[in-house]
Amino acid sequence: MSGATDKVVICIVLISFVTGFTTMRPLPATDAQSIASHIEVGDKVQITRNDASDVKFKVETISNEGLDGDGIFVAYSDILQIGVREHSTAKTVGLIAAIMVVVKGLYDYGNGLTEFIDLIF
């Protein structure tokens, strides 16, 4: 690989992982005010209702009665558990670093990925 090709490959790898990892952060589902104070419009939530059914949606409306999004309404009184999806920067950075080390290692090994594939097959 040439220097320019290396940069292109590294850019493609980095761009593909920009969205990165996400984690579901559980919230205390104690009361409506507590839930509403931890949620913002645009958050992606996963809710377990009192009947044990699960729903996932992007919050479009936060009202005094409950959360609404993607055509789904869940009253605060019907929330058994709730989690908010968040980006995990540490996991994403770790993955990118690991991929870069592997790609660099393969490149340093010789002709990089080509020789590695030849070894496998």
| Pair (67, 40) in one structural domain | yes
Which residues make Cβ contacts (< 8 Å) with residue 61, sequence separation at least 6?
Answer: 41, 67, 68, 69
The string over 27-41, giving b where at least 16 C-beta atoms fall within 10 Å of a residue's C-beta and e elsewhere, is: bebeebeebeeebee
79/99 same-domain check: no
Residue 43 has pLDDT above 80, yes or no: yes
- Same domain as 78, residue 58: yes
Is the same domain home to 7 and 41?
A: no
Q: Specify the pTM.
A: 0.59
Same domain, 44 and 99: no
Q: Is the domain of 70 the same as that of 83? A: yes
Whole-number Å distance between alpha carbons of 108 and 119: 15
**Residue 69 structural domain:** 22-87
The dihedral over CA atoms of 73, 76, 79, 44, expressed in degrees to the nearest 10, equals 60
Predicted local confidence at residue 46, as pLDDT: 94
Q: How many domains does the chain have?
A: 2
Please write the tens of the pLDDT for every residue from 61-103: 999 999 999 999 999 999 999 999 876 666 667 777 777 777 7
